[in-house]
Amino acid sequence: MVLNTLAGKPAPKSILINIPKLVSAYYMQQPDPSQESQLVAFGTSGHRGCAFDSTFNENHILAITQAICDYRKKERIDGPLFIGIDTHALSEPAFITALEVLAGNEIDTMIHDGGSRYTPTPSISHAILKYNKGIDTGLADGIVVTPSHNPPDAGGFKYNSPNGGPADTNITQWIANLANEYLKNGNKNIKRMPFEKALKASTTHKYDYVMSYVKDLENIIDMDVIKKSSLKLGADALGGAGLGYWEPIAEYYKLNIELMNSYPEPTFSFMTVDRDGKIRMDCSSPYAMAGLVALKDKYDIAWGNDPDFDRHGIVTPSSGLLNPNHYLSVAIWYLFQNRKGWKKHAAVGKTLVSSSIIDKVAAFLGKKLAEVPVGFKWFVDGLVDGSFGFGGEESAGASFLRKDGTVWTTDKDGIIMSLLAAEITAKTKKDPGILYKELTEKFGAPVYERIDAPANSKQKAVLRKLSPEQVLASEVAGDKITAKLTRASSNHAEIGGLKVVTANGWFAARPSGTEDVYKIYAESFKGKKHLKQIQKEAQSIVSDTFKAHSV
């Protein structure tokens, strides 16, 4: 992708979204159920869309929420439902719609109590698990209203199961199918109550998400070592849902945290522009994070988080913004040597498109490596029972166990990953960037990149259903192919694409769920030139597969 001329620069007013127009579109535009693109569709992180495109409108949220209520009834989930929202403009109206339906269905609903009405994704997961601990009936579940790091005009709606994590595909498909039936029938039989009445309903309860989460942090992070170090910490809230969390954390644990962009601003006008010329609150992007990166020498360690605070971006004096894979490997290296309360056989969980340096770290530490398909839901069971010490995605999302080896959250947690960077720096006297350099001296320095290539719907369908036998190539970039995978090596679940492995590198190809492209993830331990050759041959292998299927 060609780098936009605005990349890394402050967002000009000309690209800011018109918030009143966006919110009006949420209420006024009606999705057409005969158009597949305008139906409810749950990806790896819930239903997402834009009101301007008739893909995220009030009718969608009415239908999805009613379907969730119906699912709860079918499964006899009769505990409270914890709901939280991020700071995207569409999250507020979607919350209003959802609460009207939840109250109409007499669902006990836990809404935010306190100064900030925004709730990070990990705080919802934490609340669900805390409530459900030690009980088998009357279980709680949750809804998170967020499109994650996507642009300001995006909307998102996600269902979390009683295990605290993103609902499995069989659940979300059931919910989506029923929601689309409601849409096709004009949303008849939706149980709904006016918002003012819903707020005052006996089933609507206020819950202190902030301090319930904050006071528990000492059970997963060594807050004392951070406090005693007197590190100067920089926290860029990026105007996200955790903007009301960093000050209580700093005050409660007496940490030296300087807070930035700690106010909701739905156009996100304070952002620097991402590589494609859009405003995107992607804390793993050096372009979106350029403002904080410029301040790297001001802090001993700094970080930013995306709007729902399930992702992290770590900025160090030594390296600037750490590549997510680099920080994941450092976090794993540190945690599995410093968490004595974890099970001896607790595994390192990674998605199959994460860096192979993680494989080398796990092998050196004598830890089992569990490679799973893309999607945090694949880590949930392992985190719940303690068989996974850590679960991480290449897209800067991760969570890990408490000090005693029990579950913390079963959704990604950008807050603990940020605080972990401070703990690592305080404990080792080295920032994570320096520690990653030491890892490369021990294991080699991989070069990693993700690119997109064009693919139509038929081609994406072929890629999604490939079998290893359909890949005829025997080598990639001069190296013999050692594995052709269409199922994850750990749990044998379908990966929805292809991964090809050699001794010195690998590539994975997966179709996009929202665009006419497929994604190529690739890594080389022999340098950039070798990586480019892997990428080139990866596209050739995929193209040959398309030709063989006449698409």
Active site residues: 148
- The strand pairing partners of 450, in sequence order, are 521
Q: Count the helix, strand and coil residues of the chain and give each as a percent rounded to the nearest 5.
A: 40, 20, 40
Burial of residue 409 (number of CB atoms within 10 Å: 0-12, 13-18, 19+):
buried
Residue 340 CB contacts under 8 Å (≥ 6 apart), including other chains: none
Residues composing the chain = 551
Q: Is the dihedral of CA 116, 121, 126, 131 positive or negative?
A: positive
Sheet holding 369-372, edge to edge: 369-372, 347-351, 388-393, 397-400
Question: CA 202 from chain center: how many Å?
Answer: 33
CA 350 – CA 382 distance, rounded (Å): 12
Give the pair of three-digit tokens for residue 252.
Answer: 């409660």
Sheet holding 109-112, edge to edge: 42-43, 46-50, 154-160, 141-145, 81-85, 109-112, 204-207
What is the amino acid identity at position 321? L
Quick one: which of 319, 402, 329, 306 has its CA closest to 45?
A: 306
| β-strands 505-511, 494-502 pairing | antiparallel
CA 304 – CA 322 distance, rounded (Å): 11
CA 64 – CA 49 distance, rounded (Å): 13
> DSSP readout, 347-400?
EEEEETTS-THHHHHHHHHT--EEEE-SSGGGGHHHHHHTSEEEEEETTTEEEE
Contact by Cβ (8 Å): 38, 291: no
Contact by Cβ (8 Å): 54, 29: yes
